[in-house]
Structure 1
């Protein structure tokens, strides 16, 4: 009842009126001196990093400062929501708030830099994991592919995202007899959902040919490490490892 953080975007009147596209993040707080609105707006829109910074800044303790006038770029004083006589107007108070805002943004920059570093480490770890040589003589590496919108195999990768709800596994196995028993086993090796577990086992109907292929579909994938194996007549012939981040 006393505080609201909001965001809005305007694309104009059906996109036909120029100069009105705008993207704004703001906060309205009601205090003992009345209400104050602090907002940041960009035209036509904010980049994702800038949006994240202002959402964090205006949602922090800095955003709860009592009402005060803020100088705009032209040097004019914006009118506060509460009566001028009740609002601190000294340059020192304004400078103090701006310093607090600057410090908060610096903390956000440091946090973003640390998240970027951790993200790079996670990607390097995923590549190292996916590139491990399968243990066992004669094992082949199963090719893994991101599913396209039409359900067919697309880009080859071992680093998937939680938005990838279809993952294809394809392995050339050479000519097999018509009565070969072919199985594809998908394992979750560990991450946010716990330790290793078999999540799907497929019996692949075998038509004479030289390639085994199948897919794993998700409604909402867990992040972590995965493994897929292909067995022919009870013998493991191929392994593929991948991550979902």
Structure 2
């Protein structure tokens, strides 16, 4: 992906992500990360599931999702939230396998069984291989998470739920790299808070220019800061 070579060093990107990472680290440290309970992680995952579902068209409320109810999109997002942390070691070993599992979970009941976890066709399989080229990387983890998210949405390798899978994969990067080992930041809520910018920057990213990729990254630095503010640690 030539257009992404050194993208993390373009104007404003490094400083924006450094500031966001410092804010996340400060929040986790100041609130005593070691003393946090699994309930806080669970709440973060539920908030993320609901936000991700809404971004995919769900009208379910947070209370409905928390109760295990809601429309089919919310149900799919909730299933992903339940499965997500168990996939951290799989993601570290085989990102492709982890993405396949994410789609299997998200797509259950909405596509044929033989489409679950598989690219739609040969062209989609090739696009997925291209997506995985952003991993592994020496880029900062937050940058990698942002690029994986955008690449999955744009490539749309699966028959359904590509947005849900992309946002779940984004969170997997944050957990597996240790940025947010207990998954207390809610990046999906950050994207929902900034929804117009989220959607417009993804459309720009799909255009393929380096400038649009830079704009997406600058947007994501802001979204991840908003995701930290949405953490249950802030309650």
Q: If you compute each CA radius of gyration, which structure gives the higher value, 1 or 2? A: 1
Length-normalised TM-score, structure 1: 0.25
Between 1 and 2, higher relative CO (CA 8 Å, sep ≥ 6) is seen in 2
**Counting strand residues as a fraction of each chain, which structure ranks higher?**
1
